[in-house]
């Protein structure tokens, strides 16, 4: 077994222990969030499924609470001229596709909560590189090192940097992959909660 395989196994055990231990806290919050999304637009889906690239390039369905209008993916192409990041990343200040409830959920990161189900399934980890929505073919060869571990709900880039370029983001992800430890994973989780509460 390689060092990376051992790391993945260790993190998988940590994921399951934490998710199951904290179930009495996150399950009620998830139910409340689902109700808020439904009340905001009773005729639309509560959750949003998006295909993402995971460990070893495997494509999986990642879940979020819906924070945008129903035709957000189609509108993305129309708004491409306002993209503030280097493609294939997409980021737009005051994105008109985001709903009023969705704006609040994104600021607190509560829209990401359904990904706990992805963690239970084994597609994701609590800590790791964020999974990309663009195809594996978009990656340069050196980018693929970030795919040696499960993608995470939170990670080094989300908490400590927020640089705009994909290459720089990948460098930080690879730094995390190479320097992984249980201590580092726990510290990143502890950093995530206050960062989310502050809307950062």
pLDDT in tens, 78-130: 787 777 676 666 777 778 888 888 888 888 889 999 999 999 999 999 999 88
Does residue 189 surpass a pLDDT of 80? yes
pLDDT of residue 163: 58
pLDDT digits (tens, 9 = 90+) for 27-73: 999 999 999 999 988 888 899 899 999 999 999 999 999 988 877 77
The predicted model scores a pTM of: 0.83
pLDDT per residue as tens digits for the range 1-26:
567 788 888 889 999 999 999 999 99
Domain boundaries, the chain: 3-70+96-191
Tokens 């969705």 — which residue? Answer: 102
Both structure tokens of 179? 């320097």
Q: So what's the pLDDT on residue 173?
A: 85
Q: Select the more confidently predicted residue: 119 or 132.
A: 119
Instruction: Tell me the pLDDT tens digit for each residue of 136-175.
Output: 888 899 999 999 999 999 877 766 655 557 888 888 888 8
Residue 122, pLDDT score: 95
Rounded to whole angstroms, what are the CA distances from 14 to 5, 7, 63? 14, 11, 21
Helix/strand/coil (H/E/C) assignment for every residue in the chain:
CCHHHHHHHHHHHHHHHHHHHCHHHHHHHHHHHHHHHHHHCCCCCCEEEEEEECHHHCEEEEEEECCECCCHHHHHHHCHHHCCCCCCCCCCCCCCCECHHHHHHHHHCHHHCCHHHHHHHCCCEEECCCCECCCHHHCCHHHHHHHHCCCEEECHHHHHCCCCCHHHHHHHHHHHHHCCCHHHHHHHHHHHHHHHHCCC
Q: Is 115 exposed, middle or buried (0-12, 13-18, 19+ CB in 10 A)?
A: buried
Looking at 22-114, list the stretches that DSSP marks H as alpha helix, in order from N- to C-terminal side: 23-40, 72-78, 100-108
pLDDT at position 160 is: 62
Element (DSSP H or E) covering residue 49:
strand 47-53
């Amino acid at each position: 077994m390689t060092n990376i395989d051992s790391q993945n196994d260790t993190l998988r055990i940590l994921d399951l222990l934490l998710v199951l231990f904290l179930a009495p806290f996150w399950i009620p919050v998830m139910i409340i969030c689902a109700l808020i999304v439904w009340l905001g637009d009773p005729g639309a889906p509560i959750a949003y499924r998006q295909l993402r690239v995971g460990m070893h390039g495997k494509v999986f369905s990642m879940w979020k609470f819906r924070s945008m209008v129903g035709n957000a993916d189609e509108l993305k192409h129309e708004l491409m001229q306002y993209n503030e990041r280097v493609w294939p990343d997409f980021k737009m200040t005051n994105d008109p596709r985001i709903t009023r409830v969705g704006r609040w959920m994104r600021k607190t990161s509560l829209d990401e909560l359904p990904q706990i189900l992805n963690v239970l399934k084994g597609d994701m980890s609590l800590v790791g590189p964020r999974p990309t929505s663009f195809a594996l073919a978009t990656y340069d060869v050196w980018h693929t090192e970030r795919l040696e571990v499960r993608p995470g709900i939170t990670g080094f880039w989300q908490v400590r940097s927020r640089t705009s370029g994909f290459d720089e983001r990948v460098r930080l992800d690879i730094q995390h992959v190479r320097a992984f430890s249980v201590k580092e994973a726990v510290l990143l989780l502890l950093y995530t909660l206050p960062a989310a509460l502050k809307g950062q």
